[in-house]
Amino acid sequence: MTDDGNLVLVDISGSVVWQSFDHPTDCLVLGQRLFQGQQLIPSVSSNNWTTQKGLYSLQVTDKGLFAYVGTNPPQAYYSKPVSSNDKNKGRRYVRFLNGSLSLFIDTVEPSEPDGLITIPRASSTQYMKLMPDGHLKVFEWQERWLVVADLLNSYLGECNYPMACGRNALCSGNQQCSCLVPVNFIAVDERQPNMGCSEITPLTCNAVHGFITLENVTYFNIIADMEKVDIETCKQACLHNCSCVAAIFHYGSNSSSGDCFLPFELFTMMNVDPDANHHNASAFIKIQKEGQLSKANTGVSPARVVLTSILGSVMFLILVIRFIIYIIQKRRPAEESIGEIPGMPTRFSYEELKAATEDFSNKLGEGGFGAVFEGTLKDCSKIAVKCLEGLGQVNSSFLAEVQTIGSIHHVNLVTLRGFCAWKSKRFLVYEFMSNGSLDRWIYHGIREHALEWECRKKIILDVAKGLAYLHEECRQKIIHLDIKPQNILLDSDFNAKVSDFGLSKLIDRNQSEVMTTMRGTPGYLAPEWLSSVITEKVDVYGFGIILLEMLCGRKKFDKSQPEESQHLLDVLQKCWEQGTLKDMVDKYSEDMETHSSEVVEMMKLASWCLQYDYTKRPSMSMVVKVLDGVMEVESRLDYNFTDPGMQNAAVEAEKDMTPLMASVISGPSS
């Protein structure tokens, strides 16, 4: 044990084998550092079972110090941003010193820190602890352990903590807790209002929904899913998205243009003073209208009662017969229930995949519909096996989609090697991509090293060719619907391939549009999703966002940036107006700055792909031609990328669209 409290294990030569400071839990002691890549995670609360281990975390990034609530993805409820010029090539960290919590992002000790949080100087032993409620407290020994500082409280106030009043609750004044809507929510424990509330009638997708309006109510962390829209557009977007539980709207003096946030779960919400916050906030809580599920039956005749009883008995008998058939089919070996279909990719047995993955022991990651495991076939070829659970018996639509996806072959699409159906599980077998997904390489702080300009150009062209093939060269037009860096995989030579067709739509070539429910990833969704009528141009929009992120080396929304620069499309619009597109070039790569003129030309292509009116966007084959240098970018572009006044003409044709069911291959999607 060292003087500063570090428990160190050394080998016979005196070399350090293990030390406790490399494995922080929920505390820091004086002198201890928390490095980038490490995190403080509080233990389970002893008096509030609604919190769980891992809900909160404190982490250092290349942008500063952040406290997160562990949703998927994590949401920051506190940030101490630091401007970084990437001069520090060592590990970034925050250190608990006597009198401060000091951040060293670009600088190293003994230089002055890049930022600090003041702490009362120690008169005896101190330690710092991330509490189960998200507070970061400093304790000091004064005959007993006493709290001498609550570091985040002076910045946040009680109501800004995500679980200040639990889930589905409202925090007012001095942490006065109540249920959001007493008629629709009930307290988990009436004796402890801060335990949160639960829905009296849980939301279901096939019901009729409405909203309860709460004025001057907001959320702890607003990241706009849609910008510069009106209130009604925001509410309709939530109604069209089954996973959405509320629509939160922030606006200035004009409610016809504001930011819309669509959370999939609700922590604590809070009352706000519009005068003090310089903006207005409205929250629309989605509720289920039980009375509209069916009409009330009044004046029912005896004959109708008899008829209803007979029909009920018949339906019950049918259900019993179907259940018996289901049990019989379930007991059959899975191999017997699937016939050979021409054009089907290889059908693996469960035992083959179990052996290839060494009993599914090496997990590569977890996607929206299941875990992915690394494996090796008998021919020594490496594979990635995606496990999809809970899809029920093999059915014709599952087989048809496997046949369709398995029948397309292109150098820039990840190859589906085969599939397996075993009991209630489904497995998809893909080729293995050693360099992982694109997001590892383009965002600073999580990438392994910066990509050169030529490599980025190659990746961009590969993705464009893959999408052009899906849109224009297959027997049926395939719209991917979830184009994002996580779904672009890279092989050992950085050849890019489009992956994950779990949300894709297949439409006939004579169809120009299709109507579907909102799906995909916030930040990469095209504006026309608001009408639920989409074309392949939604993929073009997603490609435009990826292209812009690759050129700028940052995400579309980055809360660590100054407020006016957090939204990448706002920055793009401003730079177009000021003629300063070069200012957007990735400054963390000298090679990118060397080729800044080419990068700016590529930004013009991204702008074309990001036109608010989808009819103004190019096709992916046109994008390929521009990248190959045989076509010019459209010169008459609209640089207002988020103008809600531009209406999608396809809304008028909504009644003529052909609805398609959600993709069976990846399970239910919202």
Point out the annotated binding site for ATP.
386
List beta partners, residue 93.
35, 104
Cα atoms in the Cβ-side hemisphere of radius 13 Å centred on 499: 27
The residue whose two tokens read 């003096």 is: 253
Query: What's the longest Cα–Cα distance across the chain?
Result: 94
| Rounded Cα distance, 404 and 333, in Å | 25
- Tracing tokens 């464009």 back to the chain, one arrives at 464
Distance in Å from the first CA to the final CA of the chain: 53
What's the rounded Cα separation, in Å, for the pair 621 and 610?
Answer: 16
DSSP 545: H
Q: What DSSP character marks residue 557?
A: B
**CA torsion, ordered 76, 80, 84, 87, to nearest 10 deg:** -110
**Measured between alpha carbons, how far is residue 221 from residues 83, 115, 224 in Å?**
21, 22, 10
Q: Is 522 in contact with 488 (CB distance < 8 Å)?
A: no
Buried b (16+ CB within 10 A) or exposed e, 192-201: ebbbbbebee
Annotated catalytic residue 558: no
> Would you call 584 helix, strand, or coil by DSSP?
helix
Task: Choose, from 482, 500, 558, 586, the residue flagged as catalytic.
Answer: 482
Work out whether strand 145-150 and strand 136-141 pair parallel, antiparallel, or are unpaired. Answer: antiparallel
What is the DSSP track for 567-621? BHHHHHHHHHHHT-GGGGS-TT-HHHHHTHHHHHHHHHHHHHHT-SSGGGSPPHH
Question: CB–CB of 54/70 below 8 Å?
Answer: yes
Q: Are 284 and 211 in contact (CB under 8 A)?
A: yes
Closest among 527, 522, 560 to 541, alpha carbons compared = 527
β-strands 93-97, 100-104 pairing: antiparallel
Residues comprising the binding site?
A: 386
Active site residues: 482
